Structure 1
Amino acid sequence: HGSSVRVYEIPGHDAGHLGLAPDSLAWFLVGDLIQGIGTVVIPSPEGDMATYFSTLEKVIALNPEVIIPSHGIPMRSTHRLIETLKHRRERESQILKLSKSGNSKEEILEQLYEGLDPRLQPLAMQNIESHLEKLNKEE
């Protein structure tokens, strides 16, 4: 007898992002919530950094045995989700500090992503902008 598969709303990367998992939580197909290498872009207005944080916390709390991203190999445990949430919080703290010091988005990009492949800089800028939007809403 197979277990049924449930559809989960896992917004953040995109407002309509969905995931799939069996009732047993033996696995969780998370799509673009996470990826094997690097971090996911949270583009505004489709994505929302505060919602992304909440969704990561929600999936971590569910504690599925295997996380299956749409990019990269399946991951045993929620370790990568925990590390991603930690990284995003640290990055947000850096962005807040630099922003309060009067740095522009471009200056924040230069300082936090020094040496980043120029082709990836627009993606990094999208994450900076999403963090700044989150911080502005929280003020």
Structure 2
Amino acid sequence: MTIDSLWQFSLQYYSEREIKEACLTLQNQFHGNVNLLLALRWLDQHQLSFPNQEWPRMLQSLGRTEPLLHQFRELRRKTKQHLPDTLYRESLQFELHLERQQQADIVDAIHQLQLDKVEVPHLTDDYCHQLGAEHIAFIFSKH
């Protein structure tokens, strides 16, 4: 997995309406991380997995960017109606830059893991279950 391959996969996968809606539900209602979910889905599609004891490392990979992304996203939402369109679009571009940095941190963490080939991919399901979002896990697995 490279930063570019994950980014391209994410853009393509997230462009599906049902996936985008499920990702936003995961983020807004269950406090899940969409970039982590997308990386896990990439691993699932390549039938790769990591041991359960590595989950803390994956979650720690979000530590540098998640607080900043969360605060920026909130600020952007609050000011949306008060910003000129050009400034709002620039804020979206900056948020995408932060998202890409977060994906780079996730890729770095994945490169430190022992990945194993699996017959039945399960990382996306595992993450949804950890968040209490079992009812939307099936959406990710069918795409």
TM-score, length-scaled by structure 1: 0.31
Higher strand share: 1
- TM normalised by structure 2 equals 0.30
Structure number with greater Rg is 1
